[in-house]
Amino acid sequence: MKARASKPIRLSRQEKELIDRAAAASKNAHAPYSRFKVGAALQVESGQVFVGCNVENASYGATVCAERNAVAQAVVNGHKKFKRIAIMTATSPPAPPCGLCRQVLVEFCDELPILLANPRGEVVRAKLSKLIPQPFCGKSL
């Protein structure tokens, strides 16, 4: 039986633009080992957008994910309050962030809207609080 396409969701102009930024970032991914390109676009409270792509390494453990690179870009530019993040992968359905990236995002916000997207135009809405319930965070220390 053919899988039923999920209902298309309505996106604001800002959301569409954020997804486009994530798509553009994914094109710069350095992923010669996995061939799995990821792009992330993180919008901060001021409206500015910081992007990241995955940067792999021959020493595989030195790889950094797209989301964590976007967070680093925001933080190094003085932004720690995030509004939303878009993540672009080529899979269907679009892939959610890995556990490490969830942990890094939750350091800055427990409630972050996430847009998971792929080049086919499929978009899934997610929430950080659902992806990482009961996080280990500053309050846990």
Minimum distance between the CB of residue 4 and ligand THU, rounded to whole angstroms? Answer: 26
Active site residue 111: no
Question: Residue 123's beta-bridge partner residues?
Answer: 117
Residue 60, by phi and psi: left (phi above 0), alpha (psi -120 to 50) or beta?
Answer: alpha
Q: Which stretch binds ligand THU (CB under 6 A): 14-22, 41-49, 59-67, 72-80?
A: 59-67
Q: Which stretch binds ligand THU (CB under 6 A): 8-16, 32-40, 115-123, 129-137?
A: 32-40
Q: Which stretch binds ligand THU (CB under 6 A): 18-26, 29-37, 103-111, 127-135?
A: 29-37
Q: Which residues ranging from 79 to 138 are in contact with ligand THU (CB under 6 A)?
A: 97-98, 101
Q: Give CA 107 to chain center in angstroms.
A: 15
The reply to whether 34 sits near ligand THU by the rule CB under 6 A is: yes
What are the tokens at 73? 């870009």
Minimum distance between the CB of residue 68 and ligand THU, rounded to whole angstroms? Answer: 8
Cβ atoms of residues 85 and 67 within 8 Å: yes
Point out the residues that are catalytic. 67
- Binding residues for ligand THU, rule: CB under 6 A, are 31, 34, 36, 38, 54, 56, 63, 65-67, 97-98, 101
